[in-house]
Amino acid sequence: MPRLSEFDIIKTFFNQPGLGARPGEITRLGIGDDCALLSVPPGKELALSMDTLVEKIHFPENAPPELLAWRALSVNLSDLAAMGATPVGFTLSLAMPAVNESWLQQFSTGLKNCAEKFHCHLLGGDTTRGPLTITIQVHGLVSSGQALVRSGASAGDNIYVSGSLGLAALSITRFDEALDQSLLDEAFYKPVPRLALGSGAAGLASAGIDISDGLLADLGHVCLASSKGAELQLADIPVSPSLEKSMNAEEALALALTGGDDYELILTAPPSREDEMQTLAQSVDTPLVCIGKITDAEGITCFDGLGEQRTFQKSGYQHFNA
Ligand code: ADP
Ligand code: MG
């Protein structure tokens, strides 16, 4: 079979039905021209976010292409969720060392499945030769002035976290015989972007962020941006129940607080909106628990069930720090 040209690759794998965006009210033009065209409705703002995954830095060599695609798109969608935005579409820049049709087939299938599930289709991109690198930029819409910015938290606000924490970090830190490998793969490669929770919280919650670096590290970003601090009740942290099978409660708690990659949301909201927050969580079928409060005093203080203060190393991953 003759080698596929760049244009064949785009047509066969990326502009395939279910993956490539089709023209509609917001997407005026998708793949195929020099630019895609989006129409932003009145009263909405365009939310943009981009994430890059580099082989051997963000994922191991020979990572399963379908799962890799799913992760690349879903972590971007999580950023939209954290802002309270609803996805419109995404662009993809793909660098790969050689044309491997089987890899492309699996990668584009994973991308298509994720795109269809979360209603976010491919608008365009770039295809080039180079070390395997996947860059995705998502585009979403949020009502003007209602985005969940990090700087919006006030003293006295409740701090909420969705879902449960720690399993994704476990899947990259150690191979664990006590746990099913497919469960670990799902946790790392298929985080569920909390889109319905995030968009429902726009205009309701005061601040939001998704947990990519770890609960303490990401809550730290909200505190810093809001010039506030936080008090956390450790007994209320939703530690992933699966962790109990392979470690003691202390280790599990530490992983839930400092391990990243779960892509759950941290939201803050004034106590006066507690009922609305719980109603929202129920209506979108997403677990949401209050884990503490925003304080005027800076820094994050953790209390155990007996009211004793505890400290943890905030170990969010940073690329350029030792
Ligand atoms: P240009 O040279 O004008 O930048 P390209 O030849 O790179 O255009 O791309 C042609 C069309 O294919 C464009 O619409 C571009 O957005 C799209 N495209 C290229 N690579 C990808 C990709 N990996 N995924 C989706 N669309 C792509
Ligand atoms: Mg051009």
Domain containing 172: what range?
150-310
Cα–Cα–Cα angle for 17, 20, 24, nearest 5°? 100
Asked if residue 157 and residue 305 are part of one domain, the reply reads yes
Question: DSSP label at 4?
Answer: P
Which residue minimizes the CA distance to atom 11 of ligand 1? Answer: 32
Residue with more model confidence, 151 or 62: 151
**Residue range 207-217: mean pLDDT, rounded:** 96
Structural domain ending residue among the three candidates 121, 143, 165: 143
Residue 277 and residue 157 in one domain: yes
Mean pLDDT across the stretch 55-83? 95
Nearest to 232 by CA among 215, 245, 250, 210: 215
The answer to whether residue 316 is domain-embedded is no
pLDDT of 182 reads 83
Specify whether 31 is located in the same domain as 87: yes
For residues 290-317, give the mean pLDDT. 87
Q: Is there a domain that residue 322 lies in? A: no
Range in 11-25, 50-64, 65-79, 300-314 with the lowest mean pLDDT:
300-314
Tell how far the Cα of 51 is from the centroid of ligand 2, in angstroms: 23
Report which protein residue has its CA nearest ligand 1's atom 14.
32
Helix axes 181-189, 65-83, angle to 10 degrees: 50
Cα 14 to ligand 1 centroid, rounded to whole Å: 10
Asked whether the predicted pLDDT for residue 166 surpasses 90, the reply is: yes
pLDDT tens by residue, 87-146: 999 999 999 999 999 999 999 999 999 999 999 999 999 999 999 999 999 999 999 999
Number of H helices, E strands in the chain: 9, 13
DSSP assignment of 141-184 equals EEETT----GGG--TT-EEEEES-BSHHHHHHH---TTS-HHHH
- Which residues, other chains included, contact 138 with Cβ-Cβ below 8 Å and sequence gap of 6+? 48, 49, 50, 73, 76, 77, 79, 80, 87, 89, 90, 120
Q: Given 103, 125, 143, which residue is the final one in a domain?
A: 143
Instruction: Give the global pTM.
Output: 0.94
The answer on 113 and 23 residing in a single domain is yes
Same domain for 252 and 223, yes or no, is: yes
Query: Which residue's CA is the closest to the ligand 1 atom numbered 1?
Result: 34
Phi, then psi, of 209 in degrees rounded to 5: -160, 150
Å from CA of 34 to ligand 2 middle: 4
Task: Name the closest-CA residue to atom 22, ligand 1.
Answer: 125
Sheet holding 121-129, edge to edge: 44-54, 133-143, 86-96, 121-129
Our mutation pick for probing the ligand 1 site, out of 126, 134, 137, 139, counting the most ligand atoms within 8 A of Cβ, is 126
If you write DSSP's letter for every residue of 261-293 in order, what string do you get?
Answer: ---PEEEEE-GGGHHHHHHHHHHTT--EEEEEE
- Please choose from 31, 107, 108, 121 the residue to mutate so as to test ligand 1's pocket, defined by most ligand atoms within 8 A of CB: 31
pLDDT tens-digit readout, 173-203: 765 566 677 888 888 899 999 999 999 999 9
Q: What is the pLDDT of residues 248-300, one digit of tens each?
A: 999 999 999 999 999 999 999 999 999 999 999 999 999 999 999 999 999 99
d(CA 53, CA 136) in angstroms, rounded, equals 9
Q: Kindly state whether residue 278 falls inside one of the protein's structural domains.
A: yes
**Residue of minimum CA distance from atom 27 in ligand 1:** 125
Residue 210 pLDDT greater than 80, yes or no: yes
What CATH number is given to the structural domain containing 86?
3.30.1330.10
155 and 255 share one domain:
yes
Output 58-67 pairs: Cβ under 8 A, ≥24 positions apart. Answer: 63/189, 64/106, 64/185, 64/189, 65/103, 65/104, 65/106, 65/107, 65/110, 66/106, 66/107, 66/109, 66/110, 66/113, 67/110, 67/185, 67/189, 67/190
220 and 287, same domain (yes or no) = yes
For residues 45 and 158, membership in a common domain is answered with: no
The ligand 1 site (C-beta within 6 Å) comprises 10, 14, 31-34, 92, 94, 122, 124-127
Ligand 1 atom nearest the C-alpha of 31 is 14
**pLDDT at 300 (0 to 100):** 95
Centroid of ligand 1 to alpha carbon of 36 (angstroms): 10
Same domain for 290 and 160: yes
Whether residue 170 lies inside any domain: the answer is yes
Q: Dump pLDDT digits (tens) for 2-52.
A: 578 889 999 999 999 999 999 999 999 999 999 999 999 999 999 999 999
Instruction: Check whether 322 has a pLDDT greater than 50.
Output: no
The answer to whether residues 86 and 165 belong to one domain is: no
Residue 270 lies in a domain: yes
User: From the CA of 210, how far away is ligand 2's center (Å)?
Assistant: 35
pLDDT confidence of residue 3: 76
Residue 88 and residue 182 in one domain: no
User: Which residue has its alpha carbon closest to ligand 1 atom 24?
Assistant: 125
Whether 213 has a pLDDT exceeding 70, the answer reads yes
- pLDDT score for 180: 77
User: Does the residue 300 lie in any domain?
Assistant: yes
Q: Left, alpha or beta for 183 (phi > 0: left; psi -120 to 50: alpha)? A: alpha
Domain count, the chain: 2
Regarding whether 257 and 170 lie in a shared domain, the answer is yes
Cα 246 to Cα 47: distance, rounded to the nearest angstrom: 39
